[in-house]
Amino acid sequence: KNEVEQSPQNLTAQEGEFITINCSYSVGISALHWLQQHPGGGIVSLFMLSSGKKKHGRLIATINIQEKHSSLHITASHPRDSAVYICAVRETSGSRLTFGEGTQLTVNP
Amino acid sequence: DTGVSQDPRHKITKRGQNVTFRCDPISEHNRLYWYRQTLGQGPEFLTYFQNEAQLEKSRLLSDRFSAERPKGSFSTLEIQRTEQGDSAMYLCASSLSVGEAFFGQGTRLTVV
């Protein structure tokens, strides 16, 4: 079992839909990251969370430390949101990031 | 551009050759990480430096792999005697202590 599991693996949505991507982890963490990866490989950091909720534009990230679960929401989705979204955790025992396998999001016009 | 820079972006090499990749982190960041990502998978940790000290290495990092950060600024990752299984995207990230990590565009290695 992976330490970080994401669902769904693939998600197709119509433009304008509300999107949720989930991340569950099994280790103690000091922080959780949500990352976006476009074709070509570059990774962009969207959020770093240790508790509660953060919002940036149409993106919202939440984390429940007790349940070891985080969600990334995209409101009013747009085709340019199409990318792979990756959840990564920093364990309390170290500084490396452990990544989920990513969620491929496709938003159709 | 003051982000994390990786060079080259793409590398095609014949099996058995040596390759070296470079990463220039954000200048004030003291931590530098190397990760490897194969198609359809999330990145996997290879190694990290705090300043010039290599503090942790994954068991994925076989004897053929070596990484350096000689002056605590840029880093190099060398793969000797490349194998087809080394084909992957090699990602570099930097951060200020345990702050937010910033990633480079990656170096895509293809071993033929």
Distance between A85 CA and the closest CA of chain B, angstroms: 10
Contact B102 A97 (CB under 8 A): no
Contact B103 A4 (CB under 8 A): no
DSSP secondary structure of B30-72:
-EEEEEEE-TTS--EEEEEEETTEEEEE-TTS-TTEEEE-TTS
- Mean predicted confidence (pLDDT) in A40-65: 93
Contact B101 A33 (CB under 8 A): yes
pLDDT value at residue A1:
60
Contacts of A44 in chain B (CB under 8 A): 103
CA distances from A49 to A27, A31, A72, A100, B7 (A): 15, 6, 11, 16, 30
pLDDT band of B24, cuts 50, 70, 90:
very high
Contacts of A40 in chain B (CB under 8 A): 105
- Mean predicted confidence (pLDDT) in A51-72: 96
Distance between A89 CA and the closest CA of chain B, angstroms: 11
Contact in structure between A90 and A99 (CB atoms under 8 Å): no
Distance between A16 CA and the closest CA of chain B, angstroms: 27
**Mapping DSSP to helix (H, G, I), strand (E, B) and coil, where does residue B84 land?**
helix
- Mean predicted confidence (pLDDT) in A73-87: 96
Contact A96 B103 (CB under 8 A): no
pLDDT value at residue B97:
81
Spatial CA neighbour of B75 closest among B2, B4, B11? B4
Strand ranges across the sheet with B19-24: B5-7, B19-24, B75-79, B65-68
